[in-house]
Structure 1
Amino acid sequence: MAALAAVAVVVTAAPASADTADEVPVGTKLAARTHPAVQLTSLTYSGEVVVPTSQVRQGPFQQLVNDATQAVIAGKIPSDERSIAKFLFQRMAADVDRYLEPVTPERTAKAQVGGMCTGWWVTPDGYMVTGAHCVELNDDELSQTFAQQALQKFNKQDAKEIINGLQGIEADKELLELAQQVYVTFNTNHLQIRGLQKSLSVLQSLPGGGVDKTAKEVPAELVSVGESYPGKDFALLKVNGQQNLPTVPLGDDVDVQTGNTLYISGFPGLVTNTPWFSVESKLDPALTEGPYNAKRTTQEGVPYIQTQAPSYHGNSGGPVFSRAGKVVGMLIAGTVSENGEASENESFVLPVSVIKEKLNEKNIKPSASMTTTKYNEALDDFFLRHYKDALPKFREVQALFPSHPYVAKYITDSQQAISSGKDETPQPMWVWIAIGAGALVVIGGGLLLLLVLRRRGKASASPQGQASAPSYGGGPFPGPNGASYPAQVGAGYGQQPVNGQVLPQGWQPQSLPPAGGDAQRSGGGYEPPRPGGYDPQRPGEGVEPQRPDGATQYVRPAPSPYAQQPGRPQPSQAVPGQAPAGSDAPQVADLEREIAELRRQLQHRQPDA
């Protein structure tokens, strides 16, 4: 039992650092696990933009001037020239081709336009999921994008020219914006794109995170594309020559419901396109979160999840995670204010069931890479502060995928934590087994030593050279606890004189019984006394235990006077050269104290001992 108790002490002494470590936020763990697989995607169109020169149609424009005059007379607009000019530009912007016509010469400009979205790896060999509207634009969208990004120079130039034609009017900001809107519409309507080229690419993060000017855009092939929102806004890309890429796992629609928290990962354009942040820092994914509000269905019958997790331009195509870290959808759209600004209050997510459907159409099976498996194992150890366990796993990840954007930092952080004494890695199980085995050996040795000491004490109770003889048949000899005592045997034993008499055969001479109790009779023979020869004095009796002088004395087996007087001690037998009964008690007590001290030390063993 003592050995089992010692083993229990050893087992409970093992540190339980997994439960005692500070709780790491869900978002922190989720971002660490998923960010390596979330990448910035780029859609680029390039070509030569051609727009005609504009000319005012005199007839319709003169009629518009007359309408402005009548409005002034009727008091509908102020009579100052700036108010009249604003009235003219507003009417022209509403029907621009009625008042302007295209003429030669044509104006041309080399242009490159595009946008950035978010994509995420689903297989280790380079299949990526993103949104359909992230990989292509229809003709109307393409013209508007080129007009907005490539024709700004022409639009501003045309607006200034028409304002300068209005004599005596000084243009303010509002008037200039109204005039520009006229030519944005006209140039967009008459824009031509020659030599159009389209390219898709993935901007992979550099080792350590981020993308700088030396990072290469890896070309991506468009494998499959659905219909833009409100349709099944899905696209599948393939980047060739890839292996061991980080991936993210796919969940199911039933993993989340109204009220659950959703997590959106991606690259918001308001950060990506902002010049105030460094290129390296602003191209790391951002994680936002918010509640699952409701499940909606578009008029085309496509399901979408409505959530209040913030999203912006550039987040499109980004994965949406459950609390468990599995993809439950893809961010597609958000609400837009009257001035065209994205609103963070409402976002719409394409459910993961649609994503799985589209992947199955191309026979693509999402799978976790060895890079991701080892990386997640290392992160588990890292967040438990088991830095010594995490470090070799992070190094294995680095060997599997040298371009991993974040593992190098985790290696450095783990090394620094170990050097500063922050590691809480528990001892391996074999160490605790060895400690338990050692404890069993120590305790077993102590028990064996205790048993040997007790046996020696019993053996020392009888004089050397004596052995038990046939028991006295006249009845039990009075003694403590009903015990009988052995007779002496030897040459001429039956004729040995005792007190001047020769005892007859069958009457065995006995030694004095030890003191310490009333004699009790039994039907058996004599048995040896307790080890040591002398019992301690009973408290309160005031009688010293007697020890015979000289050689052992033998007496007739007669009733003891001490037995007839209860409460008085009886003399006990003394053995020459033998220590009293209590002489081995200190040794036993010392051994027991040592065992107790060993158990106490094991119970208070430090976790890193």
Structure 2
Amino acid sequence: MKKRALFTVPISILLIAVIVTSFFLLSLKPNATGISQAQKLSEYSKPAVVRIIDYAVVEWQFNDYYPEVEALLQELDYQTVIGGSGSGAIISPDGYIVTNAHVVEGAKMQEADLANAAFEQLVALVAEHFQVDYNEAYEYMVTYTQYTKVTRALKVILPGGDVLDGEVKSYGAPINEGKDVAVLKVEGKNLPTLPLGKSETIEDQDNIWVLGYPAAAESDLLSPDSSLVSSMNAGQISATSKKTEQGSPVIQLNAAATHGNSGGPVINEKGEIVGLLTFRGDTVNGQEVQGFNFAVPVDTVKEFVNQAGAKNTSSPTDQLFKEGLTLYWGGYYKNALEKFEAVQRLFPNHPEIKQYITNTQKKADDSKILWSDYRTIFYIVDGVAALLIILLMVFTFAMKPKTAVASTQKNTIPDLNGDGKMDIEDIIIALQKQQKEDKKKDE
């Protein structure tokens, strides 16, 4: 047994080392600890944040022949565009979007109200152009101008550049009238999404981030594509129990925000929507004061999501993109590339995917090995190794070597000289006796 053990035990130890090594390699996971939580949230969330443009085109008929006014209206193509823009967040793969009611207020206004608002804008332009009093310009224009047509439009611009028609599915009321929430629907499939959190989890001084398309972040010096990139500003919850004059709950936060941020999501450290930015604090000496902004809490948002018949679910695009980012940040570029290419197949106009595919292709030669891809092979090798260990142990300790059986055959040479023992004399006598018998046979 000892000789066998000298051979089998080292082999068994080697096989055990193989099994331990395989389990260690399989346990290795991408390490993204070098990436800040804010950066992760930004990459996860921005693809689901959209710009919303609600506008109407009012066409005019001018009934006077004052040439200077006629020339101005010709420059305007006898049209006035009225409306505004805001932000929103996609909450379902099939295109449901949450935003503020006041962002899409024009879609719910009466045609005459839109025409009146456009007329006031036109009068202000005429007064400024001709350097006359507003009231004087108003009296003149109301006499000789009337609207002939109002064309509404509600557009949703995705971060990837797609411009989609939006439809209001549920609607609260503008800021000073009630709950400032609206739910829109666009046609889509496998769209990036954001999850809705719970209002009960919001506490004072919680870290939050506001996402959207603030007008203050726009500039003539920026490229046209820059308008597709949302901003994300950090802050904290300042108060959780405030209400509007109409009794609707709001949460106060100190993250910077401005025009265009309205309707944009406020997210927590888990990337969940905890509110929609709705309005800012009062101005001081005519100036906006940052750090005093308010949001509609997420439970209020859910009321309108339910009214619209929408379901807040994530999409395969979300999961694959997050998995790809984790692999990318961990240095597993080849594996990340597979995930990113899968995202592109599901949702070709994902805003970040082309750049990530390019980056992973450039870094592919430096990619780490993701051992979990070889899990099946490891399991087979481990199974064979375990079986060999068992066989070696059985061979070493259970199977005993055969031992020689002691002879029990009695001595066939008799005691011929009568001394009570067999010795050389007995052998000589036996040989002589045999020779005599052989001789007789020959005769």
TM-score tier after normalising by the smaller chain length: 0.7 to 0.9
On the 8 A contact 1:50/1:106 being kept in 2, the answer is: no
Query: Whole-Å Cα distance in 1 between the matches of residues 42 and 310 of structure 2?
Result: 25
Query: Whole-Å Cα distance in 1 between the matches of residues 347 and 357 of structure 2?
Result: 14
1:257-276 equivalence runs, <5 A: 257-272=203-218, 274-276=219-221
Q: Is 1:233 aligned to residue 180 of structure 2?
A: yes
Q: Is 1:492 aligned to residue 411 of structure 2?
A: yes
**SS in structure 2 at match of 1:399:** helix
Q: Is 1:321 aligned to residue 332 of structure 2?
A: no
**SS in structure 1 at match of 2:29:** helix
Query: Whole-Å Cα distance in 1 between the matches of residues 343 and 69 of structure 2?
Result: 57
Which one of the candidate residues 149, 152, 167 is aligned to 1:198?
A: 152
**SS in structure 1 at match of 2:260:** coil
Q: 1:428/1:346 Cα in 2 relative to 1: closer, same or farther (>3 Å)?
A: farther
Q: 1:191/1:205 Cα in 2 relative to 1: closer, same or farther (>3 Å)?
A: farther
Which one of the candidate residues 39, 51, 57 is aligned to 1:46?
A: 57
Query: Whole-Å Cα distance in 1 between the matches of residues 244 and 270 of structure 2?
Result: 28
Q: 1:15/1:369 Cα in 2 relative to 1: closer, same or farther (>3 Å)?
A: closer
1:125-164 equivalence runs, <5 A: 125-136=94-105, 151-152=124-125, 154-155=127-128, 157-158=130-131
1:471-510 equivalence runs, <5 A: 492=411, 502=421
Q: 1:432/1:501 Cα in 2 relative to 1: closer, same or farther (>3 Å)?
A: farther
On the 8 A contact 2:335/2:370 being kept in 1, the answer is: no
Query: Whole-Å Cα distance in 1 between the matches of residues 295 and 213 of structure 2?
Result: 16
Which one of the candidate residues 393, 396, 399 is aligned to 2:345?
A: 399
Q: Is 1:10 aligned to residue 28 of structure 2?
A: no
Deviation for aligned residue 1:317: 0.5
Query: Whole-Å Cα distance in 2 between the matches of residues 190 and 227 of structure 1?
Result: 35
Deviation for aligned residue 1:150: 7.7
Give the AA of the match of 2:131.
D
Cα-to-partner distance string for 1:28-72 (whole Å, 9 max, x where unaligned)? 22222222221111122322579999xxxxxxxxxxxxxxxxxxx
Deviation for aligned residue 1:429: 2.4
Q: Which residue of 1 aligns with 2:406?
A: 468
Q: Kindly report the root-mean-square deviation, in angstroms, between the aligned alpha carbons of the 2 structures.
A: 4.1
Q: Is 1:309 aligned to residue 309 of structure 2?
A: no
Query: Whole-Å Cα distance in 1 between the matches of residues 412 and 275 of structure 2?
Result: 106
Q: 1:330/1:150 Cα in 2 relative to 1: closer, same or farther (>3 Å)?
A: farther
Q: Is 1:356 aligned to residue 294 of structure 2?
A: no
Q: Is 1:31 aligned to residue 4 of structure 2?
A: no
Cα-to-partner distance string for 1:430-481 (whole Å, 9 max, x where unaligned)? 23323423544665676577679x967x86xxxxxx6425xxxxxxxxxxxx
**SS in structure 2 at match of 1:233:** coil
Q: 1:425/1:418 Cα in 2 relative to 1: closer, same or farther (>3 Å)?
A: farther
Which one of the candidate residues 289, 298, 319 is aligned to 2:234?
A: 289
Give the AA of the match of 1:415.
Q
TM-score (norm 1): 0.55
Q: 1:309/1:448 Cα in 2 relative to 1: closer, same or farther (>3 Å)?
A: same
Note the residue ranges of structure 2 that are not aligned, 5 or more in a row.
Answer: 1-8, 74-78, 424-443
Query: Whole-Å Cα distance in 2 between the matches of residues 236 and 21 of structure 1?
Result: 35
Which one of the candidate residues 114, 138, 141 is aligned to 2:83?
A: 114
Note the residue ranges of structure 1 that are not aligned, 5 or more in a row.
Answer: 54-102, 160-182, 460-465, 470-488, 505-609
**SS in structure 1 at match of 2:232:** strand
On the 8 A contact 1:305/1:351 being kept in 2, the answer is: yes
On the 8 A contact 1:143/1:191 being kept in 2, the answer is: no
Query: Whole-Å Cα distance in 2 between the matches of residues 292 and 310 of structure 1?
Result: 12
On the 8 A contact 1:260/1:292 being kept in 2, the answer is: yes
Query: Whole-Å Cα distance in 2 between the matches of residues 377 and 345 of structure 1?
Result: 35
Query: Whole-Å Cα distance in 2 between the matches of residues 32 and 9 of structure 1?
Result: 37
Query: Whole-Å Cα distance in 2 between the matches of residues 130 and 186 of structure 1?
Result: 39
On the 8 A contact 2:51/2:213 being kept in 1, the answer is: yes
On the 8 A contact 1:387/1:424 being kept in 2, the answer is: no
Q: 1:418/1:50 Cα in 2 relative to 1: closer, same or farther (>3 Å)?
A: same
**SS in structure 1 at match of 2:50:** strand
TM-score (norm 2): 0.74
Query: Whole-Å Cα distance in 1 between the matches of residues 368 and 113 of structure 2?
Result: 59
The structure that is helix-richer by fraction is 2
Cα-to-partner distance string for 1:362-409 (whole Å, 9 max, x where unaligned)? 333222233334333433443444444433332222222222222222
On the 8 A contact 1:255/1:322 being kept in 2, the answer is: no
Query: Whole-Å Cα distance in 2 between the matches of residues 428 and 155 of structure 1?
Result: 73
Deviation for aligned residue 1:11: 4.6
Q: Which residue of 2 aligns with 1:436?
A: 382
**SS in structure 2 at match of 1:344:** coil
Query: Whole-Å Cα distance in 1 between the matches of residues 395 and 166 of structure 2?
Result: 78
Deviation for aligned residue 1:286: 1.2
Q: Which residue of 2 aligns with 1:124?
A: 93
Query: Whole-Å Cα distance in 2 between the matches of residues 238 and 188 of structure 1?
Result: 39
Q: Which residue of 1 aligns with 2:429?
A: none
Query: Whole-Å Cα distance in 1 between the matches of residues 211 and 139 of structure 2?
Result: 37
Q: 1:449/1:185 Cα in 2 relative to 1: closer, same or farther (>3 Å)?
A: farther
Q: Which residue of 1 aligns with 2:336?
A: 390
On the 8 A contact 1:225/1:234 being kept in 2, the answer is: yes
Deviation for aligned residue 1:203: 1.7
Query: Whole-Å Cα distance in 1 between the matches of residues 290 and 261 of structure 2?
Result: 11
Query: Whole-Å Cα distance in 1 between the matches of residues 105 and 173 of structure 2?
Result: 10
Give the AA of the match of 1:117.
G
On the 8 A contact 1:258/1:294 being kept in 2, the answer is: yes
Query: Whole-Å Cα distance in 2 between the matches of residues 32 and 400 of structure 1?
Result: 18
**SS in structure 2 at match of 1:275:** coil
Give the AA of the match of 2:46.
H
Structure with larger RCO (C-alpha < 8 A, sep 6+): 2
Deviation for aligned residue 1:427: 4.4
Deviation for aligned residue 1:344: 2.5
**SS in structure 2 at match of 1:135:** helix
Percent of residue pairs bearing the same amino acid type: 27
Give the AA of the match of 1:284.
V
On the 8 A contact 2:243/2:250 being kept in 1, the answer is: yes
Query: Whole-Å Cα distance in 2 between the matches of residues 386 and 105 of structure 1?
Result: 67
**SS in structure 1 at match of 2:339:** helix
Q: 1:265/1:17 Cα in 2 relative to 1: closer, same or farther (>3 Å)?
A: farther
Q: Which residue of 1 aligns with 2:223?
A: 278
**SS in structure 2 at match of 1:343:** coil
1:557-572 equivalence runs, <5 A: none
Q: Is 1:366 aligned to residue 366 of structure 2?
A: no
| Count of residue pairs the alignment pairs up | 393
Structure whose alpha-carbon radius of gyration is higher = 1
Cα-to-partner distance string for 1:168-216 (whole Å, 9 max, x where unaligned)? xxxxxxxxxxxxxxx457657987572443321112333xxxx4xxx6x
Query: Whole-Å Cα distance in 2 between the matches of residues 14 and 493 of structure 1?
Result: 72
